[in-house]
Amino acid sequence: MKIVFFSASLLLLLGACADSSSVTAQGPDTAQASSVSTSPAVVADTMMNNPVPATASALPSFRMRNGRGEIVDMAQFKGKKVFVNLWATWCPPCRAEIPSIESLGAKTDPSKVEFVMLSLDDNFEKAKNYAANNNMRLPVYYPASDLPQLFVTEGIPMTIIFNEKGEILFNEVGSANYDTKRFQDMLK
């Protein structure tokens, strides 16, 4: 009976970020949508921290809105390592990994590493309020244009780390502890 209860609880938790909601390839300032529906099976697999195969790719040119309402292009961060985390306030695994990302961010050199906490909430105010209420220090962004194909995913959280040349060093869907020596060394 305990196993059945545990399994049901786990499926409900995993389904929280992979219910009938979808991660869209549409930014709030665009009119065309392309959605990718999520499934608990995909999230369950990725929650086991199985890495998504990383492929060489350029850091995308992608317009985002920062917390002050300014439009920023992600391509401007080329020359630094870039840690991109796709998350949402309604996603328990996303919220669970944010403290480890914050801790990692505090241990990196901001002149060499840029953190992009890209909210996929339906309303940027939700993400900004969450960040303020939880003392998030890393910058929170919101799509101001279509998501690049690289960021279209079947589950969140999703993290991609780019090197200074814009090549992918790490690409994973699912929650992880980023406050580790492995990630500190990766971001040196």
Closest by CA to 164, choosing from 186, 179, 149, 138, is: 186
Q: Are 138 and 117 in contact (CB under 8 A)?
A: yes
Q: Are 103 and 80 in contact (CB under 8 A)?
A: no
Does pLDDT of 37 surpass 70? no
In 21-106, which ranges are E strands? 22-24, 35-37, 63-65, 71-73, 81-87
Q: What is the pLDDT of residue 125?
A: 97
Q: 133-184 pLDDT, tens per residue? A: 999 999 999 999 999 999 999 999 999 999 999 999 999 999 999 999 999 9
Could you give the maximum distance between any two Cα atoms of the chain, in Å?
54
Q: 54-65 pLDDT, tens per residue? A: 444 579 999 999
Q: 54-99 pLDDT, tens per residue? A: 444 579 999 999 999 999 999 999 999 999 999 999 999 999 999 9
pLDDT classification of 18: cutoffs 50, 70, 90 = low
Question: Looking at per-residue confidence, does 162 or 38 come out higher?
Answer: 162
Secondary structure element (H or E) that encloses residue 141, with its range: strand 140-143
Q: What is the pLDDT of residue 58?
A: 79
Alpha helices in the chain (DSSP H): 2-15, 40-46, 92-106, 124-133, 181-186
Q: What is the pLDDT of residue 57?
A: 55
Q: What is the pLDDT of residue 119?
A: 98
8-state DSSP, 78: B
d(CA 64, CA 120): 11
In the chain, the amino acid numbered 109 is: D
User: How are beta strands 140-143 and 113-119 bridged, if at all?
Assistant: parallel
d(CA 94, CA 77): 23
pTM for the full model? 0.73
Of the options 3.90.190.10, 3.40.30.10, 3.10.310.30, 3.40.50.300, the CATH number for the domain spanning 2-186: 3.40.30.10
Does pLDDT of 109 surpass 70? yes
Domain boundaries defined on the chain: 2-186
Does pLDDT of 42 surpass 70? no
